[in-house]
Amino acid sequence: MSGIKLDNLSFRYNQNGSADYVLENINAEIKEGEFVCFIGPSGCGKSTLITLIEGLNLPTEGKVLIGDNAVTGPGSDRCVVFQHYSLFKWMTARKNVIFGIKQANKKISAKEADALALDYLTKVGLAENADKYPHQLSGGMQQRVAIARALAMNPDILLMDEPFGAIDTKNRMQLQDLLLQLCESEEKKRTVVFITHDVEEALYLADRVIYMEPKRIKEDITIDFGPKRVRSEVFASDKYHHLRNRLVTLFYENIDAEVVL
């Protein structure tokens, strides 16, 4: 089971009680196979939430459950794609993916790992660049390698922390489409938790958008554009414009609150 439950979750970095909470009394459930975007202003705790689901940090209070099991540390059922690629500079694209595969499956043979790495690099359109090093690839291409590595590791849960935030608009749109295509084409239906500041990106990708204000969840919105999305159709729909206005209003409410303070 790869569903996620955030059960009365609170967290502060200084566990002795002298620091303010970054997250406080967070409750949410993410169903197995669901694509959920967390969105909100900088500093509201979105990235911290990813570290708690991954197990890189542990809750101050409450717990994160995957299925019926509390998260007590990192696990092979979860994989993170970060904003800044996190590739090993001294490894080719192929070897970066192979490294991830071997971390997830210690028993896989070298031949099988190589074939699997090339298969996923082909899926992200980088078969011809498999033996290039990160510095020989554009930012968008490097992020494709990171996505290929994450999927090749075969996790139940894919955690994505602003993965397209440092990429230009054209490549960002291409990567959004690629991610949807990969999620749709994979036999295994993965649970995806995606962090973004971008309203349009959240609405285009997600089954649900959870808006966060500092420390807590403000609103949980179901998105229903159907399983196969066409960008031009989604962005032209009245439903999209209604949801976009709703989310933009939440951002402005947060700005107004900060001004009053």
At residue 2, does pLDDT exceed 90? no
At residue 159, does pLDDT exceed 50? yes
How many distinct structural domains can be found in the chain?
1
pLDDT score, position 87: 87
Cα dist from 192 to 77, 151, 156, 209, whole Å: 12, 11, 9, 12
Q: Average pLDDT of 4-19?
A: 84
Q: Which helix (H) or strand (E) holds 249?
A: helix 238-260
Does residue 244 form part of some domain?
Answer: yes
Does residue 93 form part of some domain?
Answer: no
Q: Which domain holds residue 221?
A: 1-74+188-261
Does residue 118 form part of some domain?
Answer: no
Determine which of 10-14, 46-50, 81-85, 207-211 has the lowest per-residue pLDDT on average: 81-85
Q: Average pLDDT of 157-161?
A: 92
Which residues, in sequence order, are CB contacts of 7 under 8 Å at separation 6+?
27, 62, 63, 64, 65
Q: Give dist(CA 105, CA 168) in Å, integer.
A: 34
Does residue 85 form part of some domain?
Answer: no
Two tokens, residue 74: 């990192």
Q: Average pLDDT of 21-29?
A: 93
Q: What is the rounded average pLDDT for all residues in the chain?
A: 89
At residue 260, does pLDDT exceed 50? no
Residues 217-228 pLDDT 10s: 999 999 988 778
Q: Average pLDDT of 26-30?
A: 95
Residues 73-94 pLDDT 10s: 998 899 988 877 688 899 999 9
Predicted confidence band at 169 (pLDDT cuts at 50, 70, 90)? confident
Neighbours of 36 (CB within 10 A): 22
pLDDT score, position 6: 96
pLDDT score, position 256: 53
At residue 1, does pLDDT exceed 50? yes
The residue with tokens 């196969």 is 228
Does residue 253 form part of some domain?
Answer: yes
CA 12 vs. chain centroid, Å, equals 22
Q: Give dist(CA 248, CA 23) in Å, integer.
A: 22
At residue 208, does pLDDT exceed 70? yes
The CATH number linked to 203 is 3.40.50.300
Angle of CA points 142, 151, 70, to nearest 5°: 120
pLDDT score, position 19: 73
Does residue 12 form part of some domain?
Answer: yes
pLDDT score, position 261: 41
Does residue 79 form part of some domain?
Answer: no
Predicted confidence band at 37 (pLDDT cuts at 50, 70, 90)? very high
pLDDT score, position 99: 93
pLDDT score, position 259: 43
DSSP characters over 81-128: E-TT----TTS-HHHHHHHHHHHH-TT--HHHHHHHHHHHHHHTT-GG
DSSP 8-state assignment for residue 42: T
pTM of the model as a whole:
0.89
Q: Which helix (H) or strand (E) holds 66?
A: strand 61-66
Does residue 144 form part of some domain?
Answer: no
Q: Average pLDDT of 159-167?
A: 86
